[in-house]
Amino acid sequence: MGGSSVLESRLLSRLGSRHGLVMLLALAACFSQPAEAYRTARKRPVSRPLSLDVQPTPEIEVHVADEVAKARRILNDLNADNVLGSPYLVSAVYYHDGFLNNFPVDRTTADPERRIIGQISNQLSSESKARFMRLLHEVWQRSEPVGPERSAMPVTYSASSRGSRSHQYAIDLFAHEGSTVHAVSRGIVVLADRDWDPASLFSTTSRKGGNAVIVFDPDHDRFYRYCHMSTVQVSAGTLVAAGQIVGTVGHSGLNASQPGHGGHLHFETNEYLAGHVRAVDSRRLRAMLKQWKSPGSAQAAREGRKSEPRRLWRSASDSG
């Protein structure tokens, strides 16, 4: 106590009684707070991803087996007419090599959609994947060109995910819900999930992605994936031009549907190179987005809004 009184006297004498008293009261208020108060104030609420595990049922097992068997039949006779016949097969080709290597495809409580895609992935040889890619090019080459080779912005966004909140192989582009989502390139829509239902395990190929579109860009052997959309305005087999509307921003998907987690487009790119599908990391994605912000890209978006989507062929999936 004595040392404290001496310190107070010295401060008062140097700074003046009134000024010194104010400073002393401020110091006292600061040091009277426990350390826990500072740690609590700095904390931010952390959202934990919802579990994708399910309660196993015979119906789930039948559905998983049926979808895997359907993809196997297509692979046994893969051709230009059935190449898009199974959205799960498309997803198995799309996901980068090794994506589901450690996923428990035989565990009955695991996410059934990933079990389907994982089991199909295990049946995909490098030869069958290469044939799948050749067929996409064949289909594109025998069609009429849809717009010039160019790039457009996927959405007009106000901010993008960064730092610890960003994905390793994707970017969240924050935009008002209802904003139009545009095809980054010309190409073929290879997947169009539009019926996401939080109560259904099989309404889309990805419960996390929700309503989603994947477009194959034949000029660069890339796949562009757009997720969490509200509406999807194209179908598998649709030919699109760069800048053409494919849907609108929403909050579909298990995590994005939670309060405060919507209002963004999840955007990612995988590319096929030397027999392998590789994911493009977020740093390169940012560089690509920066490059697409150009007058030419803006012109492509304007032309795309005037374009009508053309259907290339009736795929096997149309029959229900």
Q: What is the pLDDT of residue 127?
A: 92
Residues in the chain predicted with pLDDT less than 70, given as ranges, are: 1-49, 162-166, 294-320
Ordered by start, the domain boundaries in the chain are 58-141, 159-312
What's phi and psi for 240, nearest 5 deg?
-125, 155
- Gap between the Cα atoms of 270 and 139, Å rounded: 20
Q: Is 283 exposed, middle or buried (0-12, 13-18, 19+ CB in 10 A)?
A: exposed
Hey, what are 96's tokens?
A: 């980068």
Q: How many CB atoms lie within 10 A of CB 78?
A: 17
Q: Are 183 and 243 in contact (CB under 8 A)?
A: yes
- Gap between the Cα atoms of 76 and 88, Å rounded: 15
Query: Phi/psi zone of residue 243: left (φ > 0), alpha (ψ -120 to 50 degrees), beta?
Result: left
Q: What is the pLDDT of residue 295?
A: 52
Q: What is the pLDDT of residue 201?
A: 96
Hey, what are 28's tokens?
A: 């006292």
Q: What is the pLDDT of residue 160?
A: 80
DSSP-derived secondary structure for 34-103: -HHHHHHHH----PPPPP------HHHHHHHHHHHHHHHHHHHT--TTTTTS-HHHHHHHHSPTTTTTTS
Q: What is the pLDDT of residue 51?
A: 84
Q: What is the pLDDT of residue 96?
A: 87
Q: Which residues pair with 273 in a beta bridge?
A: 276
Q: What is the pLDDT of residue 135?
A: 97
Q: What is the pLDDT of residue 162?
A: 62
What sections of the chain are H helices per DSSP? 2-15, 17-31, 35-42, 58-76, 87-94, 112-123, 126-141, 282-292, 295-306
Q: What is the pTM of this model?
A: 0.78
Whether the CA torsion 281, 150, 312, 179 is positive or negative: it is positive
- For residue 274, the 8-state DSSP code is T
Q: Could you tell me which of 205, 204, 213, 224 has the C-alpha nearest to residue 288? A: 224
- Total count of residues recorded for the chain: 320
**Could you give the C-alpha distances from 289 to 46, 162, 164, 222, 276, in angstroms and in order?**
28, 14, 20, 15, 24
Q: Which residue has the tokens 């051709």?
A: 79
Q: What is the pLDDT of residue 73?
A: 97
What's phi and psi for 234, nearest 5 deg?
-135, 170
- Gap between the Cα atoms of 114 and 107, Å rounded: 11
Q: Which fold has domain 159-312?
A: Glucose Permease (Domain IIA) (2.70.70)
Residue pLDDT, tens place only, 237-294:
999 999 999 999 999 999 899 988 889 999 999 999 988 999 999 999 999 999 988 6
